[in-house]
Amino acid sequence: MGRLQKYLAECGIASRRKCEDYILQGRVKVNGRVVRELGVKINPEVDIIEFDGKIVRRENKKIYIMLNKPTGYITSAKDQFGRPTVMDLIKIKERIYPVGRLDYDTSGLLLLTNDGGLANILMHPRHEIVKTYIAKIKGIPTEKELERFRNGLLIDGYLTSKAEIEILSIENRTCVVEIKIHEGKNRQVRKMCEAIGHPVIFLTRTKIGELSLGKLKPGEWKYLTPKEIEYLKSLR
């Protein structure tokens, strides 16, 4: 519940003082009836407020969040097995949802928003936004295997498009690689590594396009900066 003039001001009609004038002038209706007193309490969830005959709504504030998803969390609002979800990590009152998904056992950069338009753009394959991953894989791929990875592989009867893979370091019988793909099929990186005979031991996403995790630690999240939001919108 809140006062009518405060609500009108929050919706961008005018200053609170000016909104009081409008109420006194009889230009505001609550549930179809003109209200001329100041200080009337309303509930914006249920009451219909009109100004000069037009319904007044609070602009739905758009929220853009970057999470460093830890392993052991699922990317959805609810899990049928009661496992922790990424929503358990972000306690805010607005409803937001993840843009795409990371597997339960994958960590790293996940975006969440209530901006459905932008989410659709980011997820649409047409936009081919590059996603960067760091993976620890079993064994050390040969140059031939790396070329197969880069040129396209058959996974689940689907031919992957061009991808990048570079070896960053080698330790014992494993190595760490940087992978860049433009697509987002289910468990794609894992399946591609498997297809060249080097299954993933550990997988994390470090970048979506030019956005990177920066200093965010697993489990931490932040609101995107205006510059980061502007960048995402420029991908339209």
Report the catalytic residues. 103
188 binds ligand URA (CB under 6 A): yes
Taking contact as CB under 6 A, which single stretch among the options 24-32, 102-110, 141-149, 214-222 is the one that binds ligand URA?
102-110
189 binds ligand URA (CB under 6 A): yes
Task: Specify whether the CB–CB gap between 86 and 108 falls below 8 A.
Answer: no
Q: State the minimum distance, in angstroms, from the CB of residue 79 to ligand URA.
A: 16
- Provide the token pair at 143: 């140059």
103 binds ligand URA (CB under 6 A): yes
User: Hey, how many other C-beta atoms are within 10 angstroms of the C-beta on 138?
Assistant: 15
Taking contact as CB under 6 A, which single stretch among the options 21-29, 100-108, 143-151, 166-174 is the one that binds ligand URA?
100-108
Nearer to ligand URA, 175 or 193 (CB): 193
Nearer to ligand URA, 4 or 109 (CB): 109
Q: State the minimum distance, in angstroms, from the CB of residue 102 to ligand URA.
A: 4
HEC assignment per residue over the chain = CEEHHHHHHHCCCCCHHHHHHHHHCCCEEECCEECCCCCCEECCCCCCEEECCEECCCCCCCCEEEEEECCCCECCCCCCCCCCEHHHHCCCCCCCEEECCCCCCCEEEEEEECCHHHHHHHHCHHHCCCEEEEEEEECCCCHHHHHHHHHCCEECCEECCCCEEEEEEEECCEEEEEEEECCCCCCHHHHHHHHCCCCEEEEEEEEECCEECCCCCCCCEEECCHHHHHHHHHCC
Taking contact as CB under 6 A, which single stretch among the options 11-19, 118-126, 169-177, 185-193 is the one that binds ligand URA?
185-193
Taking contact as CB under 6 A, which single stretch among the options 113-121, 183-191, 211-219, 222-230 is the one that binds ligand URA?
183-191
Of 216, 223, 236, 221, residue with least CA distance to 129:
236
Nearer to ligand URA, 51 or 104 (CB): 104
Q: Map residues 135-174 to x or -, x wherever contact with ligand URA holds by CB under 6 A.
A: ----------------------------------------
Of 1, 113, 104, residue with least CA distance to 46:
1
Q: Tell which positions 202-231 bind ligand URA, by CB under 6 A.
A: 203
Q: State the minimum distance, in angstroms, from the CB of residue 159 to ligand URA.
A: 17
187 binds ligand URA (CB under 6 A): yes
190 binds ligand URA (CB under 6 A): yes
Residues that bind ligand URA (CB under 6 A): 102-103, 106, 187-190, 203
